[in-house]
Amino acid sequence: VGAALRDGPLKGRHVVVTSGPTHEPIDPVRYIANRSSGAQGTAMAAALRDLGARVTFVTGPADVPPPAGVDVVRVQTAREMAAAVQATHPADAAVFAAAVADWRVENASGSKMKKDGSGKAPALEFAENPDILAGVSQMGAGRPGLVVGFAAETDDVVANATAKRLRKGCDWIVANDVSAETGIMGGDENAIVLIDGDGADIWPRLPKAEVARRLALRIAGAIGAG
């Protein structure tokens, strides 16, 4: 708290951004996670900050450092991320760029799991994590005025993301094709499709910072002072 806020169309607005992967422990030395550098979420937070927003940045263990001038909340697991997001309300907009692990290990061990010499691998049991985006999208009173989800897809990007938007109840979905041949995962560029109630808008391939800048301007158009 206490970062100097800039002038801009989002001055006086509070925006929550989730970013990075979550880590779900198996034991004290092992975890499962999604592949996510945190680059696009970090760029989003910086772009929203640059338009004057007060940004709360809820981040899992990402490769890239959080931007300056935002309020950073560090978490490890999906359930910690859900609780951290819960604590950020009220917000004018929420942008869910995190790659949340869909499942956590239900039989995680408090002590390091050891090979027992039998050659048998341990059996992990999974439980589904809370859907943070769907929860905020459907929260009723106190819902942010604009809720934006992200969707990394590999097959029919527009159809999958359009269905996802309706299923979750968010306002926009920022979809991208992360098939290996696109080279998007872990790269500096992104090619997105912005899906809202009117349809799908296909954007050109751009640096992640430029995607973020344009998305932040769209967000300002939706919730900003104008």
From ligand CTP, Ca ion, none, which one binds at residue 57 (CB under 5 to 8 Å depending on kind)?
none
Decide: 5 and 52 in contact? Cβ < 8 Å. yes
Comparing every residue's Cβ against Ca ion, the nearest one is 102
Place of tokens 């809820």: 58
Handedness of CA 167, 186, 48, 23 (dihedral sign): positive
Distance CA 18, CA 42 (A): 9
User: Which amino acid appears at position 136 of this protein?
Assistant: V
Please list every residue from 9 through 28 that binds ligand CTP, using CB under 6 A: 18
Decide: 47 and 133 in contact? Cβ < 8 Å. no
Please list every residue from 152 through 171 that binds ligand CTP, using CB under 6 A: 152, 164
Give the residue numbers marked as catalytic: 34
Helical axes 39-50 vs 208-223, angle rounded to 10°: 50
The verdict on 151 binding ligand CTP (CB under 6 A) reads yes
From ligand CTP, Ca ion, none, which one binds at residue 150 (CB under 5 to 8 Å depending on kind)?
ligand CTP
Enumerate binding residues for ligand CTP (CB under 6 A): 18, 78, 96, 98, 100, 102, 129-133, 149-152, 164
Residues in binding site for CTP:
102, 112, 130-133, 150, 164, 168
Interaction site with Ca ion (CB under 5 A): 102
